């Protein structure tokens, strides 16, 4: 019987390449925590770090027959985490760009007939969710997304630091994501609905 804990990374990788599920379990146990810490250093969010690392390990398992670490397995995972975070940032930037276009009327996203009923139901929930944001958080969010003010302009108007503006925005977006995670809506859809309901 193989004692997986005693195997080195190279041996575990070879077993994983040949479809050994227990080798994957050992790699997961060995590197899950350090991978979370590496992702957290860049993202500063435990939930986002866990999501990134989960994606990396799922991809590791799916592509197990193709993996060929050029150095250590830990280095391989860290590089995978780095690129997954870059992809996540790119995706978020794209969504933010789309959102800005919608709010400034540069892009029209008409409601599909089959979405009309669902959106009507959600509008009230979205309005209530926005109203439940902490006062300063809601104020910053509305000035950013609806008045198109920059972080610097918001800071000057409210008398708070730019870094505090960014924290309020991050908090507002996280609250809205959590409120609507069961609705299978991305952040763009949520913000679009808030815009349509005002």
Mean per-residue pLDDT, 165-189: 67
Give me the chain's average pLDDT, please: 76
The pLDDT of residue 62 is above 60: yes
Residue 161 CB neighbours (<10 A): 11
Beta carbons of 154 and 143 less than 8 angstroms apart: yes
| Window from 73-82, 160-169, 182-191 with minimum mean pLDDT | 182-191
Beta carbons of 57 and 28 less than 8 angstroms apart: yes
Task: Give the pLDDT of residue 188.
Answer: 45
Catalogue all structural domains in the chain, each as residue range(s) with its CATH number.
4-100 (1.10.1740.10), 113-195 (1.10.10.10)
Contact partners, residue 88, CB within 8 Å, separation at least 6: 48, 52
Contact partners, residue 111, CB within 8 Å, separation at least 6: 119, 196
Beta carbons of 84 and 52 less than 8 angstroms apart: yes
Task: Using a pLDDT cut of 70, give the percent of the chain over it.
Answer: 68
Q: How far is residue 84's CA from residue 113's CA, in Å, rounded to a whole number?
A: 36
pLDDT confidence band for 91 (50 / 70 / 90)? low
Task: Give the pLDDT of residue 170.
Answer: 81
| pTM, rounded to two decimals | 0.48
In this predicted model, which residue has the larger pLDDT, 120 or 49? 49
What is the SS3 assignment for 24-60?
A: HHHHHHHHHHHHHHHHHHHHCCHHHHHHHHHHHHHHH
- Give, rounded to a whole angstrom, the gap between the first and last alpha carbons of the chain: 65
- The SS3 assignment for 133 reads coil
């Amino acid at each position: 019987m193989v004692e997986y804990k005693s195997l080195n990374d190279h041996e575990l990788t070879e077993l994983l390449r040949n479809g050994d599920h227990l080798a994957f379990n050992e790699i997961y146990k060995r590197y899950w925590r350090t991978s979370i810490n590496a992702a957290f250093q860049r993202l500063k969010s435990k939930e986002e770090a866990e999501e990134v690392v989960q994606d990396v390990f799922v991809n590791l398992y799916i592509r197990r027959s193709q993996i060929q670490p050029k150095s250590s397995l830990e280095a391989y995972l860290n590089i995978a985490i780095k690129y997954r975070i870059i992809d996540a940032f790119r995706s978020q930037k794209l969504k933010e760009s789309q959102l800005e276009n919608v709010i400034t009327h540069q892009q029209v996203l008409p409601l599909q007939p089959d979405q009309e009923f669902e959106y009507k139901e959600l509008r009230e929930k979205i309005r209530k969710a926005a109203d439940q944001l902490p006062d300063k958080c809601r104020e910053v969010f509305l000035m950013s997304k609806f008045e198109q003010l920059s972080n610097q302009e918001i800071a000057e108007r409210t008398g708070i630091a730019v870094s505090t503006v960014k924290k309020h925005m991050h908090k507002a977006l996280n609250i809205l994501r959590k409120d609507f995670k069961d609705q299978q809506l991305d952040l763009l859809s949520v913000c679009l609905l808030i815009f349509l309901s005002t």
